Amino acid sequence: MKHSSSICTVLAVLLLNALTLRAQTIVPVTTFGSNPGALNMYKYVPAGITGAAPLVIAMHGCTETAAQFAAQTGWNKLADLHKFYVIYPEQVSANNSGLCFNWFDTTDVNRGVGEALSIKQMVDYMKTNYTIDPSAIYATGISAGAGMTSVMMAAYPDIIHAGAIMSGLPYKASTSIFTASTAMNPGITMTPAQWGALVRAQNPGYSNPYPHLAIFHGTLDPTVNINNATELIKQWTNLDHGDQTVDSVNNSFQGNTNIQLNIYNDSSSNPIVYFYKITGMGHAIAVDTGACPRQGGATGTYAVKEVNFHSTYWAADFFNLISTFPYTITGPINVTIGATNQIYSVPATAGSTYSWSVPPGCTIVSGQGSHSITVNFSTRGGLVQVTETVTGGCELDAAKLLVSVGIAAVIDVLKEATGSISYNAGNNSLSLININPAQVKSIRVLNMLGQVVSESGAIQSNLYVLPSRLINGIYLITLTTEDKQFVQKIAIR
């Protein structure tokens, strides 16, 4: 990597923005199935996609068009940078005079009918005409589009992997236009079990995990009361075997005191619901307009400026779509317990500052703010991570490196032990062979640079479905029990 790599990265982003503003027009698709909901469909297909790629379903709010929503959210810019597809369902006035998706109408929100089926057929069209990663299909929306995001997650949990609901409300908070306004404000209160039952009724035989959820909601929303965020948390923690107790709180996310991130885990300590509470924001999404990699969108109908917080970016990050590392961190990936003076570095760029984080219990002895740090380790491994801010204030995407501490004495190679792990390309999963899942405390997939590709806590079955599809290459699988860490290498061709 050359010395000026970071400057080149930013210049490339700026050039990409300039060249693609005209090209980021969404394209109508006129035939995509029987379309029982009579919706319009638009697609965005970035140049340069190779192999299977993720798909995002992005749904507008009332009075909006798909084109307005695309421009305000900035999804197309992220699709260009990180290579995924976007489709934009669009409501028509014949269905709803306010151009709202009918999230409250039972003829549109159940599996296999109406607008929900039309959107599912749009996904089918993309699968037929492009190479879509079936394990990486996501839904998001604002207002009525957020209501429809709940619908797609509930009606098609076998298709939608995760959702990002912005100023939205739970699935079937209303089943009639006469109760819709009450559901929006002040909101409907139910128990977690009652909310969960409404979703489970859509797919009675469904036994796989339900989609994970990110919620973005303003504290001063006069249209969809923030009480709905609490009810969403109840619904989706219930579905994914969690409770309603916050497991992690960040009161100043990305240094912005207006943004509080609350994370809720399942019974195995895996995060399942993220709640970004945005102080002072009304009925809108937050965008951080600008040309930097973490910026985008435009202010408009439902989009307001928020410093250092672009909700579309963080939704994409929640969907595991932000996969482009600006460079590789150099440094050891296996160290002994209590190792001292371990050096980690990235290419240096004049004028840049670097913000590093290290695993719990570790200490940055020197170098914070520079391109190279010296670290003293304790007993725990984890991510060494750095975010670079270049001259002009652009913050690049983070580079990450997984470091294991003290595993050398307890590593057993799986092929020499009693168990093994196999990769199943068909359903993008890892099978545990002759390994008791009850004894598994965590499982990780790493590429050969030591970067984490996938990570999970305790495994509840012999099958671990990966959150995103693995591309061809060599990977290390690390499986941790109470007292050992097993390692196996796999090759995907």
Q: Which residues pair with 163 in a beta bridge?
A: 139, 213
Query: Which pLDDT score is estimated for 324?
Result: 64
| Contact (CB, 8 A) for 79 and 24 | no
Q: Is the pLDDT of residue 182 over 60?
A: yes
User: For residue range 446-478, what is the model confidence (pLDDT) as tens digits?
Assistant: 775 566 777 776 676 777 877 766 766 677 888
From the list 128, 58, 46, the residue with the least C-alpha distance to 88 is 58
List, by residue range, all CATH 3.40.50.1820 domains of the chain: 22-318
Q: How confident is the model at residue 266 (pLDDT cuts 50, 70, 90)?
A: confident
Q: Is the pLDDT of residue 277 over 80?
A: yes
| Contact (CB, 8 A) for 264 and 242 | yes
Q: Is the pLDDT of residue 369 over 90?
A: yes
Query: Which pLDDT score is estimated for 326?
Result: 75
Owner of token pair 């790493």: 446
Tell which CATH classification among 3.30.450, 3.30.1370, 2.60.40, 1.20.58 matches the domain 334-405: 2.60.40
Tell which CATH classification among 2.60.40.3080, 3.30.70.1170, 3.90.1010.10, 4.10.93.10 matches the domain 411-492: 2.60.40.3080
Of the candidate ranges 169-173, 196-200, 253-257, 308-312, the one whose mean pLDDT is the lowest: 253-257
- Rounded average pLDDT over 316-320: 92
Of the candidate ranges 13-22, 413-422, 449-458, the one whose mean pLDDT is the lowest: 13-22
Q: What SS3 class is residue 293?
A: coil
- Rounded average pLDDT over 191-200: 98
Q: Is the pLDDT of residue 487 over 80?
A: no
- Rounded average pLDDT over 89-116: 98
Tell which CATH classification among 3.40.50.1820, 3.30.1330.10, 3.40.50.2000, 3.40.50.720 matches the domain 22-318: 3.40.50.1820
List, by residue range, all CATH 2.60.40.3080 domains of the chain: 411-492
Residues assigned a catalytic role: 143
List CB contacts of 304: < 8 A, sequence separation 6 or more.
281, 282, 284, 285, 286, 287
| pTM for the whole structure | 0.76
